[in-house]
Amino acid sequence: MPAKTGNQYMERLKQAKSSVYIHGEKVEDVTVHPAFRNVVRSMAALYDRQYEKPDKMLYRSPTTGQLVGMTFIQPTTIDELIARREATQEWARMSAGMMGRSPDYLNAEVMAMGIANDLFAEDDPMFAENARNYYEYARENDISLTHTLIHPQMNRAKALHEQKDADVPLHLVERRKDGIIVSGIRLLATQGGITDEILVFPSTVKKSTAGEDPYALAFAIPNNTPGVKFICREAFDYGRSTWDHPLASRFEEGDAIVSFENVFVPWERVFVCGNSSICNRTFRETNAVVHMSHQVVAKNIVKTEFLLGVTLCLIEAIGIGEFQHVKDKGAEIMLALETMKSHLYRAEHNAKPDRWGTMTPDFAALDAARNWYPRVYPRLVEIIRILGASGLMAIPTEADFEHEEIGDIVRRAMQGATVDGYERVQLFRLAWDLTMSAFGARQTHYEYYFFGDPVRMGMAYFDGYEKESYKQFVQEFLRTKKSVSIPLNSDH
Residues 436 and 387: beta-carbon distance below 8 Å: no
Is residue 91 scored above 80 in pLDDT? yes
Q: Cβ contacts of residue 414 below 8 Å, gap of 6+?
A: 394, 396, 421, 422, 424, 425
What distances in angstroms separate CA 140 from CA 69, 73, 92, one per listed residue? 9, 11, 22
d(CA 401, CA 340): 40
The burial class, CB within 10 Å (0-12 / 13-18 / 19+), for 84 is buried
3-state secondary structure of 115: helix
Helix or strand holding residue 263 (H, E): strand 255-266
- The Cα 438–Cα 435 span in angstroms is 9
> Which pLDDT band holds residue 482 (cuts at 50, 70, 90)?
low
pLDDT digits (tens, 9 = 90+) for 280-290: 999 999 999 99
Least confident range from 1-5, 92-96, 346-350, 374-378: namely 1-5
Higher-scoring residue by pLDDT: 317, 159: 317
For residue range 404-439, what is the model confidence (pLDDT) as tens digits?
999 999 999 999 999 999 999 999 999 999 999 999
CA-only gyration radius of the chain, Å? 25
Across residues 135-145, what is the average pLDDT?
98
Beta bridge partners of 272: 218
DSSP 3-state percent helix, strand, coil across the chain (nearest 5): 55, 15, 35
Residue 491, pLDDT > 70, answer no
In this prediction, residue 208 has a pLDDT band, given cuts at 50, 70 and 90, of confident
How far apart, in whole angstroms, are the C-alpha atoms of residue 433 and residue 241? 12
At 483 the pLDDT is 58
Mean pLDDT of 309-329: 97
81 vs 93: CA distance, rounded Å: 19
Average pLDDT, the chain: 95
Type of residue at 167: D
**What percent of the chain clears pLDDT 90, i.e. is strictly above it?**
90
Whether residue 194 contacts residue 13, with contact meaning beta carbons closer than 8 Å, is answered with yes
pTM of the model: 0.95
Give the per-residue pLDDT at 164: 86
Q: In 3D, which of 46, 97, 19 has the Cα closest to residue 305? A: 97
Angle of helix 37-52 relative to helix 6-16, nearest 10 degrees, comes to 140
* Domains and their CATH numbers in the chain: 4-156+163-283 (2.40.110.10), 286-465 (1.20.140.10)
What does DSSP say about strands 228-232 and 20-22: parallel, antiparallel, or unpaired?
Answer: parallel
Contacts by 162-169, CB closer than 8 A, 24 or more apart: 169/215
Contact 119, 278 (CB under 8 A): yes
Q: Reduced to 3 states, what is the DSSP secondary structure of residue 239? A: coil
Q: pLDDT digits over 6-52, tens only? A: 999 999 999 999 999 999 999 999 999 999 999 999 999 999 999 99
E runs forming strands in 350-431: 352-353, 359-360
Point out which residues pair with 257 in neighbouring strands. Answer: 231
